[in-house]
Chains A and B, each alone.
Chain A
Amino acid sequence: MTPTKTGFANSLWNFFCSLKLTIFLLIGLSAASIIGTVVPQNAAPAQYAKIYSEATVQLFNALDFFDMYHSWWFILLLYLLTLNLVACSLKRLPRDWKIFTAPTVAMDEEMEKSLSLVRHCKMPGSSAKLRDMLGVFLTREFAAPVVTGGEGRYYLFAQKSLYSRLGVYVLHFSIIIIFIGAMIGSYFGYKAYVNIEEGSESSVVYRRTASAGQMETPEQIAARAIDLGFTVRCESFSISYYDNGSPREYKSVLSVIENGRTVVDRRPVIVNSPLTYRGITFYQSSYSPADDPVFHLTVRSGKDGTGRKITARHGERVSLPGGSSLQVIEYTDDIKPFFPQLSGPAVRMAVMPKSGETQILLLLKNYPDFDLQRGGELAFTYDGMDQKWRTGLQVAKDPGVWIVWLGCCLMVAGIFMAFFLSHRRIWVRIENGRVSIGGATNKNQPAFQIFFDTLTDKLKAM
């Protein structure tokens, strides 16, 4: 920053201040980022072996291509970009600082030459009178001016959107804020998951790591466990569907128990509506059956017609009155895709008489008389099923996330200030009935020129 630096420090400083470095880093980061979108990241070794030759795997491993965005060289590029933008901001700060703290308020003849927009006109009246009149005019048409000078020679200076010059600093600073937030998140937060069966609970969650999901010993899994300090209970899990069979909603009803007290009672958690407790957020992420489903059936013997309720687990052989038995083979929540004229849940089951051939029956929940029409010795109805689910929750703790959002807000504000606002300045010099007006903007010259021309025309018309 100062010219007294040694040669090396100076050239290092210049290196980090250079816009060429910025452009190189931005293009370099884009090109490097492509790698990680083509090479699968953090996949299982077996998967890599399938895609790449052994030599390629070794090379990619050495280059950290399999976890590219966390590799030392990618992080280095991000650090260099940060250093670069800090250095560039520091370099231009003194010049802008002066514009803020000690603006040029008097346009003398020398300074006038540096302005591209200057008009002169003759106006009647004393300098003091012109000064007051122009002060009112500028306040009305542009902004309240600062008046200096004296003894028949006066200077007026007015400016608008001075703070827009801060935009570029705010924008660059916001990137650093976002990085800080991301670092806080990665040091003090975690990404984890937990699977909880309906009706049961967990007070630990499991950290997601690159090796998660691969063959692990119980000790390895235990090493990833994080104690929540409270207990999450899955009261229930359910799925609902649209008419066309696509999923409408996955819902876990969760309760939180802390020190034996229920602090969150039966809060539904769906996708796009997570539950946060003590800075830890639970997201609906996946589900799986916890158990074989249990089917509820009614069996009537053809003679008397009195029904008897029976339950059968999927695949389980259940004895029936009269010595025969049944077994549910398959089931569906909706028969429509198979028989478009029918709808609702259905089961297919095998009925095995004491002797003779096994019969395969289809039962429909929405049509209880369906099997009666078969006219068999036994008639069945399908009353419904119970499926015990296990909900899969994504668990995240990120104390840095609010800093990231703060950074994002600053970024939007900075972009708005830097892109769409311009610092516009007007100078006036009054001397011997001669009025000189100069104008300058740091951006959008054509629009300012139109404004400047209109302003001076108005003045001349006075």
Chain B
Amino acid sequence: MSSSFLFNVATLSYLVSMVVFFAFLGSRNKTIGLAGSIAASFGLIVQTAAIGLRWKESYDLGHGHAPLSNLYESVVFFAWTIIFIYVLIDFRYKYRAVGAFVVPFAFLGMAWAQLGLNSGIEPLVPALQSNWLLYHVITCFLGYAAFAVACGVSIMYLIKSKYEVGNGNAKSGGIMSLFPSTKFLDDLNYKAIMLGFPLLTLGIITGAAWADYAWGSYWSWDPKETWSLIVWFIYAAFLHARITRGWVGRRAAILSIIGFAATIFCYLGVNLLLSGLHSYGGG
């Protein structure tokens, strides 16, 4: 069994999970919601095995390294972290509807990686031969994933709050009854960012430490560095805005979505559109 096959199984599981979650929104059948969670969890287990297997495969090729070295591997890891954080939230709160807004991010990532990106296992170029690679990539992507969850939750918030404004709070039927309350969504948005922000901070610091060790400069205003700082500023603004009144709810949700858009640009846009030091540019 190859890691590539397992990645396909994981991708399929996320597709099934996503479709089932959509069906859950339509049918409001609790068993269907549970099935969506099970599909996502199954995909996570398979993908974990696939990442481990790919790691082993790289050793079999004679130039072993953690599977975090190019665009394909980073997209796969990003999808894994999104599902990982989602499954944690699912275990904790059991609000199945959240899955319909978070799992699609992971599915799209996996589908893009499996269909559109070069999945060959390449040996590490000299610049990446460092233990910092592991610390830097893991912290950054866990942070990104937390922001992805916050973004999904914020989209739900906007939909739900629009409905509540339109219909008043009295009626509780329809799909909207499956959505957690706006108070819960707002709180979850905040909590996800409270988790993502420290991870992003660690990601930036480990990146700076590595840059200093490899190139002799911990900060050189490279586009990737600058964009990570932009993302950091946006979420810092989000956290400060929360302390003052009036920046909860709708405005917080919008800021969270803008933050995730900046995150995605930092991750992909910089490599695909701008030039810089990060190796997987151009894919």
Give residues in A with beta carbon < 8 Å to B.
19-20, 22-23, 26-27, 29-30, 33-34, 36-38, 41, 69, 182, 191, 242-244, 246-250, 270-272, 274, 281, 283-285, 394-396, 398, 401, 404-405, 408, 411-412, 415-416, 419-420
Contact = CB atoms under 8 A, between A and B. Distances in A.
Given A20-B244, A30-B230, A412 B215 contact: no
B171 interface: no
A186 B219 CA distance: 12
A272 B127 contact: yes
Q: Which of B127, B202, B218, B236 has the most CB of A within 10 A?
A: B218
15 contacts: A19-B240, A26-B240, A27-B233, A30-B229, A33-B227, A33-B230, A182-B219, A243-B62, A272-B130, A283-B214, A394-B215, A398-B216, A405-B209, A415-B201, A419-B197
Contact of B218 (A244, A248, A401): A401
A415 B214 contact: no
B214 A271 contact: yes
Nearest to A243: B62
Interface of B: 62-63, 122-123, 125-127, 129-130, 194, 197-198, 201-202, 205, 208-209, 212-219, 221, 223, 226-227, 229-230, 233-234, 236-237, 240-241, 243-244, 262, 270, 274
Given A246-B122, A285-B215, 17 more contacts: A23-B240, A26-B234, A26-B237, A26-B240, A37-B274, A242-B123, A243-B62, A248-B123, A281-B216, A283-B214, A284-B126, A395-B216, A404-B208, A408-B205, A415-B198, A419-B197, A420-B198
Residue from A37, A38, A69, A396 with most neighbouring chain B CB atoms (10 Å): A37
Nearest to B243: A19
B244 A19 contact: yes
B205 A412 contact: yes
Contact of A394 (B216, B226, B237): B216
A30 B219 CA distance: 16
Contacts, number: 111
A41 B236 contact: no
B127 A271 contact: yes
Please provide the 5 A-B residue pairs with the shortest distance between their CB atoms, ordered closest to farther.
A396-B216, A26-B237, A271-B126, A37-B223, A30-B233
A201 B243 CA distance: 59
Contact of A23 (B126, B208, B214, B237): B237
A32 B197 CA distance: 21
Contacts of B198: 412, 415-416, 419-420
Contacts of B127: 271-272
A243 B121 CA distance: 13
Contact of B201 (A283, A285, A411): A411
B214 to A, nearest CB: 5
B233 to A, nearest CB: 4
B159 to A, nearest CB: 25
Contacts of B214: 271-272, 274, 283
B217 A27 contact: no
B194 A37 contact: no
Contacts of B270: 37
A226 B237 CA distance: 42
B212 A401 contact: yes
Contact of A30 (B212, B216, B217, B234): B234
B274 A41 contact: no
B122 A27 contact: no
A27 B218 contact: no
A191 B270 CA distance: 25
B233 A26 contact: yes
B125 A247 contact: yes
B126 A272 contact: yes
Contacts of B194: 419
Given A33-B230, A247-B125, A419-B197, A274 B216 contact: yes
A246 B123 contact: yes
Nearest to A244: B123
A395 B213 CA distance: 12
B216 A26 contact: no
Nearest to B124: A248
A396 B217 contact: yes
